[in-house]
Structure 1
Amino acid sequence: MSVTAWQPQPGETQLARDLVAFATGVAPQVSGMRWFRDTNRLDVQDHLPGWPEGPRYAPRTKPEQRTRSAARFGLRGLYAVVAGGLETLAGSGSVTKVPRAIGHPPEDPDNEVEDFPVLWAAPDSLARTLPWQLDPGRRPAGYLTYAVVTDRRVVILGRADDGRAGPEVLWECARTDIAGAERRNFSKENSDAVIRFTDGSWCRLHVSLPYGLLRYLATPHELLGDDRLSPGQREAVAAFTARHALATRPVVSRRPSGNVLVEYRTGDGPPPAPGSGTGGYQLMGPDGEDVEDQPDDY
């Protein structure tokens, strides 16, 4: 199904949209790889309906890992020498100091170091219905996939990156089919997320801007109309709308902490834009006052 521009249905609220794809391993044994598994850890890519042939991977042996690590160490050593020189110059104000990378340890070694499944699905489970276009190793060059989260459903859209055709609806499920989502920091750009379905299956996606998408997948959301806001909160929403010159009311939701989040997103209009995320937000308390972030707010 191709459409010129995807829009929510009447009465449906779009909450988040972002570029997504099946994730890619970063540990030496599985770097650049991914697998599609059943609950016995068997490869099921040949049994996924409608999927074309794709690349087949094998975890690297210890000698291969050492060779690869040695090559990377050589590059890091060269970088360290260059960076050290640049940092010395930076002390004199000649150049900007080179930032240092921050690493994260594996959170799930069985699925991040020894193996790297991006699909974990028993027969007839929902994860097995995900579209093959999410796989960077199968889809055409320049093809992009997006996840859209609304108050009713999750939709996967796909489109060629040439701007000549509208997005194609590849897949969707009800929002109630999502059990939760967690960010995975042991990943490229710290931007992987595991999306869990209520039937026990799950997928691991690389998400361009994970906070916006995960906010509405990690926990059930509660959208608030003006009739459910205090007078102070209604005034704060009106001021937020005027301050950002918004043509429509921003999305207002209650977070698990009890705080109320007001936000709008840039690039919300069709067609989806790469990297479109939160354009502005405000977190407020019972009377519309600004409050500090709580762990569950974002």
Structure 2
Amino acid sequence: MAPWQPGPGETLLARDAIEFASGTAPAVSGMRWFRDAERKDIQNELTVQAGWPEGPSYTPAPSPPSKSAARKAGRFGLGALVAAVVIALGAILGDLGGAGPGGSKGPGRPRDPENEVDDFPVLWGAPGTLARTLPWRLDPARRPAGYHTHCVVTDRRVAIVGFPDRDPRKDEVLWEIDRQRIAQVERMTYSEVWGEAKIRFTDGSWCRLAPPEARYGWTVLRHLAHPTELLLPAEMTPRQRKYVESYAASVTDRDPAEAPVVTRRPSGRFLIEVRTTAPVTAGDGIEKRHQHMSKRGRLGAIRQGDL
């Protein structure tokens, strides 16, 4: 047995751990819902019609006090309120000890409050839509202990694979689609893991997926956030080809069976990725080294959105 492999002529771009995202805002922290196009809960439908196992039912936490209530509390319990604020600030400052990408503190600000603050759908779709075909094993609250799910991205398709016992050699394909069926992928930065993918399908349904742990430059999102444009050796200038070969040779743990993959990034620069000899792991998928290259075939600077 062996981990999932691309087909002939197909280029493997990324493989990393993935699951349904979890809420970050206080009212929905650690929670997730499954909705139809009218925002109705469809957990029971998924259980009865799609064979999903029973999962937890979540209730959003109470909203914080209104401004008038806060003023009233200030009049009658200022001392207690100040003490509570000091404790809360201490907790917040402790939580902000780690910096996210770009040196920013904390999870950032909501971009979609309706679906990030008051509610947190991770699957949204009418009956018969593509989002409803996603495998239930993406739900960390439903899958068996020790079972892991990975997203595999190639230049042709996107697949979800799963395996028990933290052993990728036991891969089973749970779901896959052609990339043409994805209409848009948004980077959702209001997240404790720094980056999440909101994937909109061509039928109007969508899902919100994330790595189980924080990632800087999550490779799944890197290769889904915009169409893949491969730069093949025959299309490179002599200087570009020389730079790619030089960088690949500098990777001492490079897998010699894997050719470097070069893709054009949103900035117009190129990303060189070289796979290492490290085996596929449950937590991190495949391991790659990367370097940016300018259009002239020199070291290129990283631009926002390139990773």
TM-score bucket (shorter structure): 0.7 to 0.9
Indicate yes or no: 2:266 matched with 1:256: yes
Work out the CA distance in 1 between the residues paired with 2:270 and 2:58: 46
SS of corresponding position for 1:141: coil
8 Å contact kept, 2:187–2:225: no
- The alpha carbon displacement at 1:175 in A equals 1.3
- Equivalent in the alignment of 2:238: 231
More deviation in 224-233 or 192-201? 192-201
What amino acid does structure 1 have at the position aligned with 2:164?
Answer: A
Work out the CA distance in 2 between the residues paired with 1:20 and 1:242: 31
How many positions carry a matched residue from both structures? 277
Work out the CA distance in 2 between the residues paired with 1:253 and 1:126: 28
SS of corresponding position for 1:189: coil
Q: 1:169 to 1:272 in 2, by over 3 A?
A: farther
- Equivalent in the alignment of 1:60: 61
- Equivalent in the alignment of 2:293: 284
8 Å contact kept, 2:266–2:306: yes
Q: 1:223 to 1:63 in 2, by over 3 A?
A: closer
Q: 1:239 to 1:132 in 2, by over 3 A?
A: same
Correspondence for 2:115 among 95, 111, 114? 111
After superposition, give the CA deviation of every residue in 1:38-74 in whole Å (9 maximum; x if it has no partner). 111011122231211111112223379x9xxx9x978
Work out the CA distance in 1 between the residues paired with 2:277 and 2:282: 6
What amino acid does structure 2 have at the position aligned with 1:286?
Answer: K
8 Å contact kept, 1:231–1:287: no
Q: 1:221 to 1:161 in 2, by over 3 A?
A: same
Work out the CA distance in 2 between the residues paired with 1:123 and 1:212: 31
8 Å contact kept, 1:267–1:277: no
8 Å contact kept, 2:32–2:120: yes
8 Å contact kept, 1:265–1:276: no
- The alpha carbon displacement at 1:286 in A equals 2.7
What amino acid does structure 2 have at the position aligned with 1:288?
Answer: G
Work out the CA distance in 2 between the residues paired with 1:277 and 1:7: 12
Work out the CA distance in 1 between the residues paired with 2:33 and 2:261: 37
Work out the CA distance in 2 between the residues paired with 1:285 and 1:139: 44
What amino acid does structure 2 have at the position aligned with 1:284?
Answer: M
Work out the CA distance in 1 between the residues paired with 2:199 and 2:156: 16
Correspondence for 1:295 among 284, 299, 304? 304
After superposition, give the CA deviation of every residue in 1:121-152 in whole Å (9 maximum; x if it has no partner). 12211111000000111111221111000111
- The alpha carbon displacement at 1:5 in A equals 2.5
Work out the CA distance in 2 between the residues paired with 1:9 and 1:293: 31
Work out the CA distance in 2 between the residues paired with 1:284 and 1:17: 22
Q: 1:261 to 1:124 in 2, by over 3 A?
A: same
Q: Give the TM-score normalised by structure 1.
A: 0.82
Q: Give the TM-score normalised by structure 2.
A: 0.80
Work out the CA distance in 2 between the residues paired with 1:261 and 1:103: 26
More deviation in 98-107 or 132-141? 98-107
Work out the CA distance in 1 between the residues paired with 2:43 and 2:250: 50
- Equivalent in the alignment of 1:170: 174
Work out the CA distance in 1 between the residues paired with 2:193 and 2:299: 30
8 Å contact kept, 1:178–1:217: no
- The alpha carbon displacement at 1:76 in A equals 5.1
Work out the CA distance in 2 between the residues paired with 1:194 and 1:27: 17
8 Å contact kept, 2:186–2:225: yes
Q: 1:39 to 1:278 in 2, by over 3 A?
A: same
Correspondence for 1:146 among 147, 150, 171? 150
8 Å contact kept, 1:268–1:276: no
- Equivalent in the alignment of 1:188: 192
- The alpha carbon displacement at 1:296 in A equals 4.0
More deviation in 216-225 or 286-295? 286-295
Unaligned 5+ residue runs, structure 1?
Answer: 84-97
What amino acid does structure 1 have at the position aligned with 2:297?
Answer: G
Work out the CA distance in 2 between the residues paired with 1:288 and 1:164: 36
Indicate yes or no: 2:222 matched with 1:215: yes
SS of corresponding position for 2:222: helix
Q: 1:33 to 1:267 in 2, by over 3 A?
A: farther
What amino acid does structure 2 have at the position aligned with 1:212?
Answer: T
Work out the CA distance in 1 between the residues paired with 2:36 and 2:5: 34
Work out the CA distance in 1 between the residues paired with 2:4 and 2:26: 40
Work out the CA distance in 2 between the residues paired with 1:220 and 1:164: 27
8 Å contact kept, 1:263–1:278: no
> What do you get for the CA RMSD once the two structures are aligned?
2.9
- The alpha carbon displacement at 1:114 in A equals 0.7
